[in-house]
Amino acid sequence: MSLRLAIIGKTGQLARALLREGEDMGHEIIALGRDALDLTAPPQEIEMAVEMLPSGVGALIIAAAYTAVDAAESDADTAYAVNAAAPAAIARACARHDIPLVHISTDYVFDGEADQPYMPDDDTDPPGVYGASKLDGELAVLSSGARAVILRTSWVFDGTGKNFLTTMLRLSETRDELRVVDDQIGRPTYAGHLARAVIKAAETLATEPDLETSVHHVTGGGEPISWADFAVAIFQSTDRNTRVERIPGSEYPTPAERPSYSVLDTDSFERTFRHPLPEWQKGLAAALMERTE
C-alpha cells in the first residue's frame, strides 16, 4: 500500500534516509525543511504549518531535532524550543486533524547507569539538557491526544553525514593512532535501517486505527559495543591500519555528561510492528557502501 508521508526535516541523516528508503518502499514523501516548518517558530505558527499540509497525508514523521548535546548545556532555551515546545505544537495539530504521528527520541532520556538493556517503560532520568528536552517532547506527544508512536534510538550513523563513522575515517587519514572512549556502551544504528523501521511504524499507524499510542526502541541489533570497539570495526572494515587506544570517558571530558550504558531493548518494537532490526554490522557495511556510490 502506497502512502503519502510527510517528514519534518530535510537535510539531516535520518531525513535523507527517510527520503531514500520511503521512495524505495513505494511511498510518496513530502519533506518539510526549515523554510516550510521552523521548529524554533512560535507554537501557533508550527501548528498552522501542520494544518497546511497537503490533503491525504497518511502520517507525519518528526525527523528533525536539536541534537547538539554539548551546546545544549549553554543553549537550553533553543534545545527546549526545538525538542519540547515544537513537538508539543505538532502533536496538538495532529490530534485535532487525526494525523498519525511518529516522533523520534533518544537514549539520552535515561541516566546510563543500568546493567541490562533499557525497556521502553523503564524510569527516565536524563543527565543533561539535551535528554531532558527530548523527554519533555515525549511527554508532550503522549499527553496531546494524538495517535502517535515514539521511537527512541541511539548512536545513529550513515556513510556521508557528520557522525562517528565519518569522523573516524577522516581522522585516520592523517593519524596512525586515535584515542577512543571504551567505557560507554551501546548499539550503533544505521540511518537507513532506522528509516525503514520508522516508515514501518508510520505504515502501521496509518492502516491500523486501533494501534495505541506507545513508546518503543529502535537500534541496530547484535552485541552491544563501546565506541572504541566501533572504531576498531570501522578500521577493520576499511583495511586501515589505524591503532585504537582505549581510554575512559574521564580522559575525554565534555560539557554534557554521556550515558555510560545506552543499550535499548528493541523487543517491543519488533513484536508490535513485525519488523526485525538488522545487526549493526550490516549497517556498517551499508554505510561504507554509501561512501563508494
User: Can 118 be counted among the known catalytic residues?
Assistant: no
Written as nine digits, the cell of 284 is 556498517
d(CA 161, CA 38): 21
Greatest CA separation for the chain = 57
Contact yes or no for 182/247 (Cβ under 8 A): yes
Burial 173-210 (b: 16+ CB within 10 A, else e): eeeeebebbbbbbbbbbbbbbbbbbbbbbbbbbbeeee
C-alpha closest to that of 194 among 185, 204, 202, 183? 202
Contact yes or no for 146/4 (Cβ under 8 A): no
Name the catalytic one among 130, 190, 252, 261.
130
| Residues annotated as catalytic (active site), given as ranges | 130
